[in-house]
Amino acid sequence: MSDKQDFPPGFLWGAATAAYQIEGAWDEDGKGESIWDRFVRRPGVIADGATGDVACDHYHRYAEDVDHMAAMGLNAYRFSIAWPRIFPNGGGRPNQAGLDFYRRLIAALHRHNITPMATLYHWDLPQALEDRGGWANRDTAMRFAEYASFLFHALGDDVPLWATHNEPFIQGFYGYGNGENAPGRRNPWAILPVGHHLLLSHGMAVDAFRAANLSAAQIGIVLMIWPHHPVSQRPADVRAARRVDGAMNRIFLEPLFRGCYPEDMLTHFGRRLMRPPIRPGDMEIISRPIDFLGVNTYTRIVHTADWRDVLVGARQIPPHGPTTAMGWEIYPNCIVEALQKVAEYTDIPLYITENGAAFDDLVEPDGSINDATRIDYLWAHIAAARRAINAGIDLRGYFVWSLIDNFEWAQGKTKRFGLIHVDYATQRRTWKASARFFRDLIAKNTR
């Protein structure tokens, strides 16, 4: 089978990372404490007790990492900016040294003709803002807009693609609902207000972006969109899957593109729950036009109705088929289904901003890593991206999660998603077979 798949001219082939997962240097050059810096120090919250204090030491090794991207032929790179590097306390005076790091990174990318896509928030809130209520406090949205505005003016067109947030669902649900992510709060009733404030801050940042009047840059947001299927056609199961789709996907898509929360979700969660944080004018701000949408998708989830789950009355059915090391079913059509779901709401350009797989990679005695399962995963998912384009979806790029093995949140360093292996003891980078596969695929498909 040929791996020439005829992707459109200008298609972006990239890899994605996030600041806390790779940078390390957690307290260097004036950086402030983030909620992750605080959270990882709680006993028992990270599977292997790891922290992101050093992570991949990318803060010091970014030039080497950009060289790897160039050698792979990437023409785009998605990274996130650590808010507490720029504003150590969340606001006030910016920290020049933190900004300079991103300037150096972006300059290195441009030297290699790699298009930067910067995410403003990949879950590392300045702890100082968490101390004042975090995302449960509406004020945090204003602080975010100020931070965003500062960066639009400081970096501007040097970053052609700006994303406000990464996966607001995960920040809201895991950060404030079940406490598995930072800041580790366990208050299911905070999830919806937190989600609303995240969306509001997105809209305010879009306004700040338009006010900055850049000539070549675009703005969007990155959502997690996984398909949710019922285990049977029993009406109760169908409704359960639909509720989960509502609570994870539509609850973001509808406000962003239609300026309202889904009617069934308002009924289900109760209007009272949402009313306090929604103020007149909020929905107009949230639904400001954006230039692109980033879609993160990895798998699908199958559900059955079960009211022991008080939030959505659904229980996940464990996958039957092959899974990744995360226990996620390998289901390549998630790409097509996720993009088609989004296309029900908008026809703006779309990017797959994350897709990839963790496997228990074996390092051979000669040091090589022959991750054939990851290659199969990527091959099948990229073929699905091609199918989505054939079906009329305006897909402009595909970013593998991740460039290098990194700190996988509550899983610590136990889960490896990289195309490049990292030996955490020496910080040595080694290309896995999948990195060579991706390089060859890009070479055949770039014009």
Binding site for ligand FCB (CB under 6 A): 18, 21, 166-167, 170, 224, 296, 354, 401, 408-409, 417
Instruction: Compute CA distances 170 → 174, 184, 266, whole Å.
Output: 5, 12, 20
Residue 79 CB, nearest distance to ligand FCB (Å)? 11
Beta strands, E only, 171-248: 218-224, 228-230
Nearer to ligand FCB, 285 or 352 (CB): 352
Q: Is 344 designated active site?
A: no
Residue 381 CB, nearest distance to ligand FCB (Å)? 14
Nearer to ligand FCB, 79 or 401 (CB): 401
Given its phi and psi angles, is residue 281 left (phi above 0), alpha (psi -120 to 50 degrees) or beta?
left
Instruction: Give exposure, 142-170, as e/b (b: 16+ Cβ within 10 Å).
Output: ebbbbbbbbbbebbbebbebbbbbbbbbb
**Alpha helices of 322-427 — where are they, by DSSP H?**
334-343, 372-390
Q: Which of 23, 167, 329, 337 is catalytic?
A: 167
Distance from C-alpha of 369 to C-alpha of 386, rounded to nearest angstrom: 27
Nearer to ligand FCB, 122 or 185 (CB): 122
Express the helix, strand and coil content of the chain in percent, nearest 5 each.
45, 15, 40
Nearer to ligand FCB, 305 or 335 (CB): 335
Nearer to ligand FCB, 237 or 329 (CB): 329
Instruction: Compute CA distances 352 → 227, 313, 343, 399, whole Å.
Output: 14, 30, 13, 6
Residue nearest to ligand FCB (CB): 18
Q: Is 254 designated active site?
A: no
Residue 169 CB, nearest distance to ligand FCB (Å)? 9
Nearer to ligand FCB, 166 or 445 (CB): 166
Residue 67 CB, nearest distance to ligand FCB (Å)? 23
Distance from C-alpha of 378 to C-alpha of 73, rounded to nearest angstrom: 16
Residue 401 CB, nearest distance to ligand FCB (Å)? 5
Whether residue 215 contacts residue 157, with contact meaning beta carbons closer than 8 Å, is answered with yes
Q: Which of 23, 254, 329, 354 is catalytic?
A: 354
Contacts of residue 125, defined as CB under 8 A and 6 or more positions apart, other chains included, come to 34, 35, 83, 84, 90, 134, 135, 140, 182, 183
Question: Which residues are known catalytic residues?
Answer: 167, 354
